[in-house]
Structure 1
C-alpha cells in the first residue's frame, strides 16, 4: 500500500498503480466500519458518485463491494460532479457519501472525496482510515448491505437550483468550458435551460482522457480557449470548471480572468446585502483587497487555512455565509448548504449579472488596483518543506507583522508575501501582492532570499 495517497484533504493516486481492487475493496470495508463507529449506527446509507475517468467504473465496483460487505447500503448516483454527491447526501438524508474522482489531476489519477454526516474527512480521519485498511481491522458484516440506484439526482439538483435563484431580465451570453470533465453532464443544462442564458459550449462531452486541455482553471494556459471564445462571440462572460466540478474559473466580457479572490469580492458584496454583518471567509493566499472589501461593506472578514475540508470546518465553526479560495472553491452557506459547488456558484453569479445593467468590469471597477504574482511553486522535499515557513517568519518578525496561521504571511504595510508548505506535494507555495509592479518584485526578491536561506 502506497501510504502517500492518503493526503490531507482526500485520497488520491495513480489508479492502475496505487488503487488496485484489493485496496479499494479494503477502503470500502474500512469506510463502512469507520462511519458506523463515528455516527454510532448499526445501519448505514452511503451515496457514491464518480467522475468520467477511465478507471472510475472499475473503482466503483470494488468500492461498492467493500461497502456492501461492510453492511452499508450503497446509493449509486452514477457519473456526476462532486457537488451533486454532497447534494444527494443532504437531500436524501443519507449518512455519508464518497465521490470517486481525480479532481484536476491528469487522466491516469483517481481518488476519493469523503463525508461522514456533515463532516468532510481530512487530516487525522483519513489517516485513521489508512490504519483500519492496513490492520485489516474492519470485519465483514453479518448482514451485508445492497446497492440501489438513484438516477434522478441531476434533475433534482437542477430543479432545486432553478427554484433557489431569481434571474433578472437582462439576457446573458455565456461561454461554458467543461474541459471534458464531469461538469458537462449538468452545467450546460443549468446555464441554458434552467438559468435561461444563451450558451456557447466548449468541451462539454465528458472524456477521462481530457483531449483538449487539462481541466484546471487555476492555470492560465487552460483558460485560453474560453478567453478566446468570449472575445469571438462577444459574450458577457466565460465559465470554466475543473475535472469534478467543484472549482470555478471566470473570464469577464473582455476575455480577462477574474481570479477566485476577486470573484469573492463580487459574491461577498451580494451576500452582505441580504446578510448585514455576516462572516465571510477567505484563505491565506487571497488578496488583501478581499478582506478589506468585506470589512468596508460591513462584513466580518475571517482568514482561513487553505483546503476545502478545512474551510468547511471553519464555516461550521463560525457560521460564515460565504467562503472561497484562490483556487475557485466557492462555498455558499447563504440559501445553500455550505459546501463547495462551482455549478451553484455559476447560478449565483449569473443571478447577480442578470439583475444589473453593469458588466463584470464595472461591478469590480472600484476595487483598488494591486499587482500580485500568480501562485508560485518551488520544489522542496517533504521532510524539509514544513520547517521553511517558520524560519522565514523568524527572519521577518523583528520588523514586520507575521501571521503563521498557515505557513507565514508577512504584512509589509504596502504589500504582503506568503510562504506555505503544500499539503499535496513536495512543494513550497509563494505569493506576493503590492501596490506597484516594482514593489511586488522587490518583496518577491526578499521572500525568495529568505526561503533560500531557510532551506540552506
Structure 2
C-alpha cells in the first residue's frame, strides 16, 4: 500500500487509540479545536488511515478483478471540519487504488442510496460509500458512516476497519516519512448526486397518489433543517409536489448550528418547528437532524409526532399496508404504545435493544425466521422500512406521511393534519415521562480495577433481585436490555449504556406521585452502590 501522508501539524509518531473512535456502528471524534478539555482526536492523518483501512476492507469484501477499480462515494453534512476530513479520507482511499467521487453536501440516506442506484451519469452504483457526519453532536465533533449495497456497516466491521487503520497509521506514518514529498492536489470527480436521491423521493409520493403530478397542491408545509443537510427537502421535494413551503427555516447549511441543535429529540428544536407551524398556519411541520437519517413532524395544532407518537403514526400507516405485521422498536417505548399496536391496530410489538442498528438488525432477523416485519423504529426518530432496503431514512419516513396527506387531498371535509391525528387516536400517553442518567465514577475505589460494564451489571442484578421480592412490582417476562419493571400504573427501565459509564433510567407513569414511587423503588437499590451519582434521582423523588 502506498504511504499515507498528511499536511497536519500533529506529530505522526503520536500514538492514537483508534478503537476509542468507535461509537457503535459509526466512527466519531473531536475534529476541531474550540471546546475546553476536548483535544482533537480525528486528525487528518488518522482520517487518511481510516480511508486506507476502509479501502482494504472493501477490497477484501468485493475482491475485484484486475480490470475493475472499486469506486467509493463521499458525502458530508454542514460541519465546519467536513471539507478537511473529506480531503483526508479521500487521500487514504486513493492511496489504495480506489476511485473517489465527491457528492458534496448530502444526507446519510442518499449516500447509502448511491450504492444501489443505477445511474452511470452520476457514477453510481458505487461499491462503497462514506458519509462525513456526527449527527446532532456539537460543532467540534465529526465522524464517518460507511455503506455498501447490503446496508450500513455493523459494529464488528467498524472495529475491523479501526484495527486496520491503527496498523496503517503506525506502519506507513513513521516520523521518517514526514520528509517525503507527495502531490497533495489529487483531483476527484465531483457529482451533484442529490438530484438522483430527491427525484426518487418525489417519484415515490407521486406514485402513491396515483401518478398525480402535484399531489400536495393546497397544503402548506414548513421544514426546519436546523442548518444541517436537510434544507433540500423544501425546494427539491415538497415544492415539485405542489406544496407551499413559505415559513420554512434554517435551511442554509451552517456547521456552527446557530439557531438550535438539529435534533428532533431536542426540546428547543421541537419548540422552534412548532412555533413555525403555528405562526404560518401550516398544515404540517417537518424537522430533521443534521444528516437527515432522523426526523419528526408537527400537525397544524402544534402537536408533535415524535418519540412514541411518531412510532404510533408510522405503525398505523404500515399496518394499513401490511395487516398483522410486527413493529420492532427500541427498549424505552411505552406500554401504551404496545397496547395501541396490538389491540388497536392488530399488529405485533417487539421491543429490542436501544441503538438504531440493533433495531434494524433485529427486524431483518425476524423476517429471516418467518416473522413478517416491515418497520424498525427507535424513539430517537431513526426509522427504517423493509420497502426501503432497511435504511434509516428520515426523509423517506416523512414521504410515508406525505402519502397520507396526498390521499386526503380529494376530501373537502378533512384536513391533512386531521387525517394524521386520527391515525393515532387511542394511543394512551403517560402523564409523566422522564429519563434520569446515573453516572458511574470509573475511578471509584469500589470498582477494584473492573470495567464500568461489570459495575453496571452488578447494579442491574441487585435491582432484579429486589424486584422479585416486591409484590407491587412485576418484571417484564421478555426483555432484551436492562431491567424493565411494571408497577404503580406505569413502568421503569434501568439499562447500561453500551459506550458510556452511565445507567439511564426511564420512568413513565400516570401521575407524578406514581412516578416517584417507581423512582423510590430504584433508589432503594442504587443508593447502595457508592460509585453511582444518584443526585438527579434523589432530587426527582425529593429526598434529602
TM-score by length of 2: 0.77
SS at match of 1:375: strand
**Distance in 2 (alpha carbons) for counterparts of 1:405 and 1:191:** 39
**Aligned-partner Cα distance in 2 for 1:120–1:190:** 25
State how far apart, in whole Å, the 2-side matches of 1:325 and 1:255 are: 22
Q: CA deviation at 1:270?
A: 1.4
Q: 1:51 to 1:441 in 2, by over 3 A?
A: same
After the TM superposition, which of the residue ranges 361-370 and 205-214 deviates more from structure 2? 361-370
CA deviation map 1:44-76 (0-9, x unaligned): 322211111111111001101111112222232
Bigger relative contact order (CA 8 A; separation at least 6): 1
Deviations 1:399-428 (A, max 9, x none): 522455122222338322111222343332
Aligned to 2:397: 345
Task: Please name the residue that 1:164 is paired with.
Answer: 204
Q: Does the Cα contact within 8 Å between 1:80 and 1:185 map onto a contact in 2?
A: no
Q: How many residues align?
A: 450
- The DSSP-based 3-state class of the residue aligned with 1:243 is coil
The verdict on how the C-alpha distance between 1:217 and 1:169 changes in structure 2, with shifts beyond 3 A counting, is closer
What is the CA–CA distance in structure 2 between the aligned matches of 1:429 and 1:205, rounded to whole Å? 35
* Corresponding residue for residue 146 of structure 2: 114
Alignment match, 2:29: 13
Query: For 2:235 and 2:327, how far apart are their aligned partners in 1?
Result: 29
Query: Aligned match of 2:191 in 143, 151, 155?
Result: 151
Q: 1:169 to 1:350 in 2, by over 3 A?
A: closer
Deviates more, 1:378-387 or 1:292-301: 378-387
- Does the CA-based 8 Å contact 1:7-1:423 persist in structure 2? no
The Cα shift of 1:435 comes to 3.1
Query: Where does 1:374-385 land on structure 2 (aligned, <5 Å)?
Result: 374-381=434-441, 383-384=451-452
- 1:312 corresponds in structure 2 to 360
Mapped partners of 2:517, 2:524: distance in 1: 11
Aligned twin of 1:37:
60
User: What do the CA deviations read for 1:298-337 (whole angstroms, capped 9, x no partner)?
Assistant: 3232212111222232232123211111111111223x22
The separation in 2 between residues aligned to 1:101 and 1:290, in whole angstroms, is 31
Q: Pairwise mapping of residues 178-327 of structure 1 onto structure 2 (< 5 A)? A: 178-194=225-241, 196-296=243-343, 297-319=345-367, 320-327=373-380
Would you say the 8 A contact 1:39–1:117 is kept in 2? no
SS of the residue corresponding to residue 202 of structure 1 reads: coil
**Aligned mates of 2:481, 2:43 — CA distance in 1:** 34
1:357-406 Cα offsets, whole Å, 9 max, x none, are 22543332321232342333333346335423343233224452245512
Cα gap change, 1:47 to 1:342, in 2 (>3 Å):
same
Distance change >3 Å, CA 426–CA 188, structure 1 → 2: farther
Q: Which moved more, 1:376-385 or 1:158-167?
A: 376-385
SS of the residue corresponding to residue 47 of structure 1 reads: strand
Q: Which runs of 5+ in 1 are unaligned?
A: 141-145
Unaligned runs of 5+ in 2: 1-15, 33-39, 118-123, 173-185, 210-214, 368-372, 409-413, 443-450, 532-544
**Deviation at residue 170 of structure 1 after TM alignment:** 7.5
1:401 counterpart = 2:514: no
The 1:199/1:205 distance shift into structure 2, 3 A limit, reads same
Cα distance in 2 between the residues matched to 1:195 and 1:283: 35
Which residue number corresponds to residue 87 of structure 2? 61
C-alpha change, 1:369 and 1:261, in structure 2 (3 Å) is closer
1:70-81 map, 5 Å? 70-81=96-107
Change in 2 beyond 3 A, CA 1:259/1:89: same
Distance in 2 (alpha carbons) for counterparts of 1:21 and 1:360: 47
Secondary structure of the corresponding residue to residue 116 of structure 2: helix
Stretch moving more, 201-210 or 351-360: 351-360
Residue equivalent to 1:143? none
* Cα distance between partner residues in 2 of 1:94 and 1:105: 28
- Describe the SS at the equivalent of 1:210: coil
Other-structure match for 1:126: 158
> What's the RMSD between the two structures over aligned residues?
2.5
Asked whether the 8 Å contact 1:282–1:291 carries over to 2, the reply is: no
Q: Which has the larger radius of gyration?
A: 2
Task: Measure the CA separation in 2 of the matches of 1:203 and 1:195.
Answer: 21
Alpha carbons of 1:198 and 1:180: their partners in 2 closer, same or farther (altered >3 Å)? closer
